[in-house]
């Protein structure tokens, strides 16, 4: 069965004023949808890959036929990365993580404030297009950034928080001010969703 575009778990205007409605419409309905269509176009030509999950495809890219490794990394990554990005945001969100996740962040980064600073640095410092991530790494947490639609899944890491820093994610509202977009992001982070991903597996 072909991959389906995951619906936004909230309305297009739910993240206002931090992420604007038009950006959400174009980002989800055009950009994300295009990755889905392109990915399905690739899989169609390789029936042996049909039925594999994105995690299976992206977690072991070198097992794929050589000519589709880069296309799957780009298009499959584009699908998976946006799925988690929508999932970890929400309306009336923000605030602080609680419980075990809060403890793990403190253990890895010293404090929540320090974590935010380091995460924003990863987002701002990514040259060109890409992502900033909080990932499970071994028994702890780490911040990484990836280029383009590369995903930490391909490095054996488990992402639990994602920030899209492609210009399409923020340019209509923030123009060249990526730092402002990154610091506004904390107002829409759904920490319960992040904690759910932290607790999984
Ligand atoms: Mn995007």
**For the segment 161-176, what is each residue's pLDDT rounded down to a tens digit?**
999 999 999 999 999 9
Average pLDDT, the chain: 97
The CA 168 to ligand 1 mean position distance, Å, reads 6
The CA 63 to ligand 1 mean position distance, Å, reads 26
Per-residue confidence band for 1, with pLDDT thresholds at 50, 70 and 90: low
The per-residue pLDDT for 146 is: 98
In our burial notation (b when 16+ CB lie closer than 10 A, e otherwise), range 136-154 reads: bbeeebebbbbeebbbbbb
CA distance 178 to 123: 8
Per-residue confidence band for 60, with pLDDT thresholds at 50, 70 and 90: very high
The CA 193 to ligand 1 mean position distance, Å, reads 19
Per-residue confidence band for 123, with pLDDT thresholds at 50, 70 and 90: very high
Per-residue confidence band for 34, with pLDDT thresholds at 50, 70 and 90: very high
Rounded to 10 deg, the angle between the 99-109 and 191-199 helix axes is: 80
The CA 103 to ligand 1 mean position distance, Å, reads 30
Q: Averaged over 42-67, what is the pLDDT?
A: 95
The per-residue pLDDT for 171 is: 98
The CA 107 to ligand 1 mean position distance, Å, reads 30
User: Is pLDDT of 20 > 90?
Assistant: yes
The per-residue pLDDT for 183 is: 98
The CA 31 to ligand 1 mean position distance, Å, reads 6
The CA 143 to ligand 1 mean position distance, Å, reads 19
Q: Averaged over 136-142, what is the pLDDT?
A: 94
The CA 110 to ligand 1 mean position distance, Å, reads 30
User: Is pLDDT of 37 > 80?
Assistant: yes
Q: Averaged over 98-127, what is the pLDDT?
A: 98
The CA 16 to ligand 1 mean position distance, Å, reads 17
pTM: 0.97
Q: Averaged over 75-99, what is the pLDDT?
A: 97
User: Is pLDDT of 55 > 70?
Assistant: yes
Q: Averaged over 40-56, what is the pLDDT?
A: 94
The per-residue pLDDT for 29 is: 98
Report all structural domains of the chain as residue ranges with CATH numbers, in order of start: 20-201 (3.55.40.20)
The CA 158 to ligand 1 mean position distance, Å, reads 19
Q: By percentage, how much of the chain surpasses pLDDT 90?
A: 97
Q: Averaged over 122-129, what is the pLDDT?
A: 97
- CA distances, 30 to each of 22, 56, 65 (Å): 11, 25, 28
């Amino acid at each position: 069965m072909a991959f389906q575009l995951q619906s936004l778990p909230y309305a297009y205007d739910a993240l206002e004023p931090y992420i604007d409605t038009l950006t959400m419409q174009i980002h989800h309905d055009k950009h994300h949808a295009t990755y889905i269509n392109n990915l399905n176009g690739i899989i169609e030509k390789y029936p042996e890959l049909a039925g594999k999950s994105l995690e299976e495809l992206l977690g072991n890219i070198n097992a794929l036929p050589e000519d589709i490794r880069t296309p799957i990394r780009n298009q499959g990554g584009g699908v998976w990365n946006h799925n988690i990005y929508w999932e970890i945001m929400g309306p009336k969100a923000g605030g602080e993580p609680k419980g075990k996740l809060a403890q793990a962040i403190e253990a890895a980064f010293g404090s929540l404030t320090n974590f935010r600073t380091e995460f924003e640095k990863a987002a701002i410092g990514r040259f060109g297009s890409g992502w900033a991530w909080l990932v499970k790494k071994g028994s702890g947490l780490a911040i990484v950034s990836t280029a383009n639609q590369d995903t930490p899944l391909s490095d054996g890491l488990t992402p639990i928080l994602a920030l899209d820093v492609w210009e399409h994610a923020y340019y209509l509202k923030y123009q060249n001010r990526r730092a402002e977009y990154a610091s506004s992001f904390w107002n829409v982070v759904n920490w319960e969703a992040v904690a759910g991903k932290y607790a999984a597996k």
